[in-house]
Structure 1
Amino acid sequence: MKDILDDKTQQEDGSSTVKGNKKVMNAWAFYDWANSVYPLVITTAIFPIFYEGITSTENSDVVSFFGVEMINTALITIVSACYFLLIVFMMPVLTGIADASGNKKAFMRFFAYLGSFSCMSLAFFDETYLELSLVSYVLAGIGFWSSLVFYNSYLPDIAEEKDHDSLSAKGFSMGYIGSAILLIICLAMVMLVPDEHKELMSRLSFVLTGVWWFGFSHVTFARLPHRKSQLQFNKSVFSNGFKEIRKVFHAVRKIDGLKKFLSSFFVYSMAVQTIMIVATYFGTKEINWPDKATAQMGLIISVLLIQLIAIPGAIGLSKISERKGNRSALALVLILWVVICLSAFVVTEPMHFYIIAGFVGLVMGGIQSLSRSTYSKLIPQGTKDTSSFFSFYDISEKLGIVIGMLSYGLIEQLTGSMRNSIMALVVFFIIGLLLLFRVPKNATEVDDSLNL
């Protein structure tokens, strides 16, 4: 960590380093270490088990939300879709402000703080006041996903194109390691205490998640460059973001490779992020665990398995992309996702669930890492305000998530089974794969041929 913070240099334009600086790239990747505890502890592991436990009884999993009776897992899925939709509308405004002020690091910091403190506030989650308690859940999600817009936009600013795949994979790998460490700590806290104290330890896990995210994020903030902008900050910046998004949209339509890639990414993102958010809820309800305690332990072990396998998965896929090209590597992953979903549709036993979890880990980090780096390669060379391009990327992803989550939640609510929802995800992966084959084979070749 000391190497990351030492030897800071300054340029005349106010930026803190030049592209390709190893210390800055390491500090950038370290943010994954800091914030990846949110999707693991809150989205995937401890909170889903905690939420499902306190909102269910032996005879019912139905809750009242503003007077409407809903299945508890369908509710959390639909609430998640709603806050993703809110993020979609927020992003153009935020990136417009960030570009005008030239200080996207400040906005990244703000949302990191919002997310981390909201995680801490989940310690006070109360099923009696479900509507109010879900506000903390929503704000934590907004903080996490909004900070990623500014974080991702730094990639082409600080790294040469040849380093995008490896640096992106390094960030995800650091995130898997860091979040796995905290999850093991939280797991020990929850499992090594008497039953009457397990809920308290779960709540304390939410506090530790926020503290971890808040504390380690400062390693990144200490090194990321701060670019001074010549733009004037006035009320027009609130509309600048939408103007920039429109410009990016028109630019994307003219760049054949980028347009085709985003079409595929939009569709398969509907399934990828949905799986990551609902996997634990699926395991809680659809797998035949011997008892509740075994189910909780088994689900957390599955999550740890996913995290550990995701590290070599992300690195391995970056190696495949170097040899075979980005499109071929992504196509392989999408085919594996289809097989995984079809297998999950019929699985009922814990051992089979563990096997599926292992394959999910193999492809989960890889598809996120390679999608991000592929897009960064296709951004026109010389683009200064990359926030707008990555905002457009994130808007595409979030709209996809909204559709995926709503489809999943509504199918479960209407049919009473999460298994039926899985088939919608299979359709998304197949369509995304077919659209991917329209993308020129190698992302770098696309970049060169278009003289971006």
Structure 2
Amino acid sequence: MDRPLNDPRTLNGWALFDWANSAFALVITTAIFPPYFEGVIDESFTVLGIPFTNSSWFAYLITFSYLIIALLSPVLSGIADAGGRRKFFLQFFTTMGGLGCLSLFFFTGMETMWIGSLGFIIGLIGFAGGLVFYNSFLPVIATEDRFDRLSARGFAMGYIGSVLLLLLNLAMVQQPGWFGLPAEGTLSVRIAFVTVGIWWLVFAYISLSRLPDDVRIPGTGIADMASRGWEELMGVWRRLTDYADAKQFLIAFFCYSAGVQTIIFLASIFAKKELGFETAELIVVVLILQIVAIAGAYLAAKISEARGNKFALYVELVIWTIICVLAYFVDGKLQFYFIAGAVGLVMGGIQSLSRSTYAKVIPPDVDASGRRVDTTSWFSFYDVLEKVAIVLGTFIFGFLDALTGSMRTSILILALFFVAGMFFLSRFQLKPRATQT
């Protein structure tokens, strides 16, 4: 059934998907699963004769997941751009991620470490793979004048939904008796993983029921659509030689993104292992971080308006560098709360500034009416680069952790990524563009 653009039921259904899947990003990747993993896995062990610490193994899980995601991203992007199977693949990756979450209930310790590892990898790939197709629905269901407003609605619903579920999980962990659960053991935490999977699947399938059905394109095979994504990325790579500013910014972005994303993924396991934070305390830290991140994004925008994007990015990178140094020396929970607040302050700011700066340096291709065109392939390149940065950052973190047995050393080394980012940023000039008509 054909649905008109800007249909309210469809738009609300699309935004509901953010409500559904953001719970995984907040509860599983950040707040509850990392410290639980550290708590139930031996501090050190060997696999195939290779020594690991529990935190280095967790870092490698992220590395492996994002390596797969980075390899799949251009393929998925090509399929999404060519259309025809958008809803099918969104449902596939959603189901995959939700089942990965549900499987974490059976992860109880070393004897089931393979279940926890595989479930986390499947969940992460399902989450990231689905986002490609979710985002590609935007121009299919709305006119361009609605893009910003609808995207913001999805972000807001994702934030609200994930925080509500996290608060429920906090109550389950702190007061398991309210839910008829035993005070001892891990059952309440493992049921929290199940709530994420159910939340994700139920609300996502409601969202899917409101999105337009696939319209198969005759003569367009999946292989043809997939190759389109690689061709788009290679086209951007070739064009970078003609756009020195964009190339220089991307190098800087790659360096500091490796540090930013690694810290976001591994901050909670650091707090658990090095400072003895309990799961309930970490949930409170994450909630504070989420709130501060919103204020940080607005603050970064204000600095950018007053002094420009480059200066604002420098400020953010200096703070990130200080965070790494302070984390190396932190020895108390109160100190970590302040560090977490600083991470929240620059977490939202660095991500919003990076995307807006990049939008200003990509080629100003316009059509006859003066509208920007061909931005999708440039932002696909940007997204893949960020995923590769996560692979590099988490691998180095895990390698140093396993080598030295200290997460503090790994955190300190991450400061070099921010220093490198500042160096390459210093060679980048954000030139004002001529007014386009």
**Alignment partner, residue 203 of structure 1:** 190
The TM-score with structure 2 as length reference comes to: 0.84
**Equivalent residue letter for 2:340:** A
**Alignment partner, residue 27 of structure 2:** 41
Deviations 1:133-182 (A, max 9, x none): 31111011111122233445667886869985x87676555433332221
2 CA distance for matches of 1:385 and 1:232?
24
Shift of 1:218: 5.2
Shift of 1:186: 0.4
**Structure 1 residues 256-265 or 136-145, which shifts more?**
256-265
- Contact kept, 8 Å, 1:172 with 1:311, in 2: the verdict is no
**Structure 1 residues 111-120 or 194-203, which shifts more?**
194-203
Shift of 1:284: 1.2
2:392 counterpart (393, 403, 408) = 403
Deviations 1:247-274 (A, max 9, x none): 1222333333332322221111101110
**Alignment partner, residue 55 of structure 1:** 41
TM-aligned CA distance change 1:119 to 1:51, over 3 Å: same
Deviations 1:184-234 (A, max 9, x none): 100111111266555111111111112222333457656777897978412
1 CA distance for matches of 2:259 and 2:143?
29
**Equivalent residue letter for 1:87:** I
Matched, 1:344 2:327: yes
Deviations 1:94-144 (A, max 9, x none): 222222335545434432332222112211224313234311110111111
1 CA distance for matches of 2:354 and 2:100?
28
Matched, 1:280 2:268: yes
**Alignment partner, residue 59 of structure 2:** 77
User: Identity over aligned residues, as a percent?
Assistant: 41
Deviations 1:383-403 (A, max 9, x none): 777554333222101111111
1 CA distance for matches of 2:422 and 2:215?
41
SS of residue in 1 equivalent to 2:331: coil
Deviations 1:28-71 (A, max 9, x none): 66544332221221111111122112113xxxx11343454311
TM-aligned CA distance change 1:256 to 1:184, over 3 Å: same
- Contact kept, 8 Å, 1:248 with 1:392, in 2: the verdict is yes
Matched, 1:116 2:116: no
TM-aligned CA distance change 1:24 to 1:250, over 3 Å: farther
**Alignment partner, residue 318 of structure 2:** 335
- Contact kept, 8 Å, 2:16 with 2:154, in 1: the verdict is yes
Deviations 1:305-342 (A, max 9, x none): 11121222223434444554433333322222112112
Matched, 1:299 2:285: no
2 CA distance for matches of 1:387 and 1:225?
21
Matched, 1:256 2:244: yes
2 CA distance for matches of 1:29 and 1:401?
27
Deviations 1:361-415 (A, max 9, x none): 1121222233334444536446777554333222101111111001111111111
**Alignment partner, residue 417 of structure 2:** 428
The TM-score with structure 1 as length reference comes to: 0.81
**Equivalent residue letter for 1:408:** F
What does 1:363-382 align with in structure 2 at a 5 Å threshold? 363-376=346-359, 378=362, 380-381=365-366
**Alignment partner, residue 13 of structure 1:** none
Matched, 1:216 2:199: no
Q: What are the ranges of 5 or more consecutive residues in structure 1 without an aligned counterpart?
A: 1-7, 11-15
2 CA distance for matches of 1:323 and 1:87?
37
TM-aligned CA distance change 1:36 to 1:324, over 3 Å: farther
Shift of 1:434: 2.7
- Contact kept, 8 Å, 1:280 with 1:299, in 2: the verdict is yes
**Alignment partner, residue 78 of structure 2:** 96
- Contact kept, 8 Å, 1:168 with 1:369, in 2: the verdict is no
- Contact kept, 8 Å, 2:101 with 2:120, in 1: the verdict is yes
2 CA distance for matches of 1:201 and 1:114?
23
Q: What are the ranges of 5 or more consecutive residues in structure 2 without an aligned counterpart?
A: none
2 CA distance for matches of 1:124 and 1:149?
29
Shift of 1:241: 2.3
2 CA distance for matches of 1:145 and 1:45?
18
**Structure 1 residues 315-324 or 74-83, which shifts more?**
315-324
**Structure 1 residues 275-284 or 37-46, which shifts more?**
37-46
TM-aligned CA distance change 1:327 to 1:299, over 3 Å: same
TM-aligned CA distance change 1:22 to 1:346, over 3 Å: farther
Q: CA RMSD in A?
A: 3.4
2 CA distance for matches of 1:260 and 1:23?
43
SS of residue in 2 equivalent to 1:236: helix
Deviations 1:344-364 (A, max 9, x none): 111110100011111111121
